[in-house]
């Protein structure tokens, strides 16, 4: 229940509609309850303390100017107040971080493009209030999206721009043409345009060391999709010694020898009690390097596990009618046998990292450039489930999805937990997600950038927005445009 309280009158309302005392017959859209200059008070329910890993009875959270003004009794304010009254079963979580939040889609099987028509609303509707794209195909477009969200022209999460890929994954990248000076200039350029960090993929050792050094000059972080050292690639162990901040997918070290690729090693790995795994985990923990395991994507490519790949909503409705007809007529994607082998190994590796002291160094990343199924914004909930299935306790699953991501990006003084003075990026869910992480899919409201959002409205805004309207628009959804 929401009450919008001018100084002398109280209006009680139900989600999206006004009703009850003093306003019979008056119907307002949910957006009418959003006032960026208002003071919000959330009453009732419980809130999640990420530090203690417990739920705390909510006596009142007061929000003004997008920040948490007080926790406990509502702070005095003479301004218009919107009160959100929660029932006892509701839970308030910090907003989720997705640090491998590909906005990229590959709708026609010939390469990826960044999707900006519907993804911002879809991320926010799923409780993802901060995204790091982990390599942008069109960094100019993605920067424009960040600025539009910041100006309030678009609804969407905080977008921590990553700029272009550094390495062979970038279209047009030429190893021989990239000198230390050219890499430094690129880092300087994108840092000046507001990049929050950088992503390397397919990068040589000499290029990575310069990228890390120059990013650190700007106080920015570097993450990377690395390999084993095979074919002049970089093993994560060596990247950690260079000073890298975060590593994605594979732990590396001796569990991935340089005589074959990381993928080849991982699908055959079975020595979970051996020195190779323990030694590389110890290196991460000793150096404070974050690990983004990206678990759930391997489930999309292997034999579909109904629990992991179920649709709890019709995700195809976000396609244009033209593209929906194309996507639904396609045959099922063939099983990738190597990914099928890797999925259970990834789960066990992640649990070993957690048990080996890495709890506070694990971050959440979805890493799914969708082909028309399993949109990235919904994948955050599949990733939460994958952590739980790996054996991570639910409280720590949500710690990973919130404060760990904030720390990894150096914004934990502002985001990642429910504390006075921090930005009020919050997700309100129906039920207790510490009993079942899937409860977090049932989102009642989302607070982000000082605004109260209805997930239903956000989803409605995104319907029919992804893909071309007809054949004449297909070229805009193919690479190089």
Q: What is the pLDDT of residue 449?
A: 87
According to CATH, the superfamily of the domain at 96-416 is: Metal-dependent hydrolases (3.20.20.140)
Sheet (strand 96-98) strand order:
96-98, 128-131, 158-159
Please tell me the distance from the alpha carbon of residue 311 to that of residue 196, in angstroms, as a whole number: 33
The 10s digit of each residue's pLDDT in 341-362 is 899 999 999 999 999 999 999 9
Which residues face 246 on adjacent strands?
Answer: 290
pLDDT band at 37 (very low <50, low <70, confident <90, very high): low
CB 127 within 8 A of CB 93: yes
pLDDT score of 62 more than 50: yes
Average pLDDT of span 115-140: 97
pLDDT score of 158 more than 70: yes
pLDDT score of 283 more than 60: yes
Please tell me the distance from the alpha carbon of residue 452 to that of residue 438, in angstroms, as a whole number: 22
pLDDT score of 5 more than 50: no
User: Of 101, 103, 129, whose CA–CA distance to 115 is shortest?
Assistant: 103
Q: What is the pLDDT of residue 309?
A: 86
Please tell me the distance from the alpha carbon of residue 289 to that of residue 217, in angstroms, as a whole number: 18
pLDDT score of 16 more than 50: no
Q: Which residue has the higher pLDDT, 176 or 35?
A: 176
Average pLDDT of span 20-34: 35
Please tell me the distance from the alpha carbon of residue 315 to that of residue 142, in angstroms, as a whole number: 23
pLDDT score of 13 more than 70: no
Q: Is 429 left (phi over 0), alpha (psi -120 to 50) or beta?
A: beta
According to CATH, the superfamily of the domain at 2-94+419-459 is: Urease, subunit C, domain 1 (2.30.40.10)
**Rounded CA Rg of the chain:** 23
CB 313 within 8 A of CB 238: no
Average pLDDT of span 469-477: 95
Q: What is the pLDDT of residue 90?
A: 97
pLDDT score of 115 more than 60: yes
Average pLDDT of span 325-340: 90
| Domain ranges for the chain | 2-94+419-459, 96-416
The 10s digit of each residue's pLDDT in 168-185 is 999 999 999 999 999 999
The 10s digit of each residue's pLDDT in 291-327 is 999 999 888 877 778 888 889 999 999 999 999 999 9
Cβ within 8 Å of residue 469, ≥6 positions away: 320, 322
User: Of 426, 456, 470, 189, whose CA–CA distance to 323 is shortest?
Assistant: 470
Instruction: Report the 3 state secondary structure along the chain.
Output: CEEEECCCCCEEEECCEECCCCCCCCCCCHHHHCCCCCEEEEECCEEEECCCCEEEECCCEEEECCEEEEECCCCCCCCCEEEEECCCCEEEEECEEECCCCCEECCCCCCCEECCCCHHHHHHHCCEEEECCCCECCHHHHHHHHHHHHCCCCCCCEECCCCECECCCCCCCCHHHCCHHHHHHHHHHHHHCCCCEEEEECCCHHHHHHHHHHHHHCCCEEEEECCCCHHHCCCHHHHHHHCCCEEECCCCHHHCCCCCCHHHHHCCCCCCCCHHHHHHHHHHHHHCCEEECCCCHHHHHCCCCHHHHCCCCCHHHHECHHHHHHHHHCCCCCCCHHHHHHHHHHHHHHHHHHHHHHHHHECCCCCCCECCCCCHHHHHHHHHHHHHHHCCCHHHHHHHHHHHHHHHCCCCCCCCCCCCCCECCEEEEECCCCCCHHHHHCEEEEEECCEEECHHHHHHHHCCCECCCCHHHHHHHCCCC
Query: pTM score, two decimals?
Result: 0.92
The overall average pLDDT reported for the chain is 90
Q: What is the pLDDT of residue 79?
A: 62
Phi, psi (deg, nearest 5) at residue 43: -120, 145
Cβ within 8 Å of residue 47, ≥6 positions away: 55, 56, 58, 61, 71, 91, 92, 93, 418
């Amino acid at each position: 229940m929401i009450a919008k309280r001018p100084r002398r009158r109280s209006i009680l309302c139900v989600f999206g509609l006004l009703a009850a005392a003093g306003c019979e017959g008056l119907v307002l859209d949910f957006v009418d309850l959003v006032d960026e200059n208002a003071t919000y008070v959330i009453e009732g329910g419980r809130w999640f303390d990420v530090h203690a890993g417990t739920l705390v009875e909510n006596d009142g959270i007061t929000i003004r100017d997008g920040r948490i003004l007080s926790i406990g009794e509502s702070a005095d304010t003479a301004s218009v107040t919107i009160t959100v009254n929660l029932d006892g079963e509701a839970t308030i979580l910090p907003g989720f971080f997705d640090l491998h939040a590909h906005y990229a889609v590959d709708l026609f099987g010939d390469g990826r493009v960044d999707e900006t028509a519907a993804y911002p609303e879809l991320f926010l509707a799923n409780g993802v209030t901060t995204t790091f794209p982990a390599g942008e195909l069109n960094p100019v477009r993605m920067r424009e999206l960040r600025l539009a969200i910041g100006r309030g022209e678009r609804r969407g999460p905080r977008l921590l721009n990553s700029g272009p890929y550094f390495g062979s994954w970038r279209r047009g990248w030429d190893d021989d043409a990239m000198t230390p000076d050219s890499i430094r200039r690129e880092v300087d350029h994108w840092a000046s345009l507001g990049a929050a960090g950088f992503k390397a993929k397919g990068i040589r050792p000499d290029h990575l060391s310069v990228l890390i050094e120059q990013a650190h000059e700007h106080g920015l972080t570097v993450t990377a999709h690395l390999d084993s050292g095979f074919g002049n690639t970089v093993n994560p162990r060596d990247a950690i010694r260079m000073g890298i901040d975060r590593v994605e997918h594979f732990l590396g070290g001796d569990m991935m020898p340089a005589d074959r690729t990381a993928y080849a090693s991982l699908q055959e790995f079975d020595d979970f009690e051996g020195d190779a795994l323990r030694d590389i985990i110890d290196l991460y923990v000793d150096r404070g390097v974050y690990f983004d395991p990206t678990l759930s994507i391997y489930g999309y490519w292997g034999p579909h596990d109904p629990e992991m790949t179920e649709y709890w909503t019709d995700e195809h409705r976000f396609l244009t009618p033209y593209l929906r007809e194309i996507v639904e007529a396609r045959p099922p994607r063939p099983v990738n046998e190597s990914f099928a082998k890797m999925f259970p190994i990834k789960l066990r590796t992640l649990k070993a990292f957690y048990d080996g002291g890495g709890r506070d160094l694990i971050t959440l990343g979805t890493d799914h450039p969708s082909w028309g199924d399993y949109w990235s914004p919904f994948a955050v909930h599949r990733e939460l489930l994958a952590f739980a299935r790996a054996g991570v306790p639910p409280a720590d699953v949500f710690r990973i999805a919130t404060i760990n991501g904030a720390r990894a990006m150096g914004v934990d003084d502002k985001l990642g937990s429910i504390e006075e003075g921090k930005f009020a990026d919050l997700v309100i869910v129906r039920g207790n997600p510490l009993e079942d992480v899937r409860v977090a899919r049932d989102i009642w409201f989302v607070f982000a950038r000082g605004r109260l959002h209805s997930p239903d409205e956000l989803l409605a805004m995104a319907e029919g927005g992804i893909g071309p309207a007809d054949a004449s628009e297909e070229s805009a959804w193919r690479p190089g445009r």
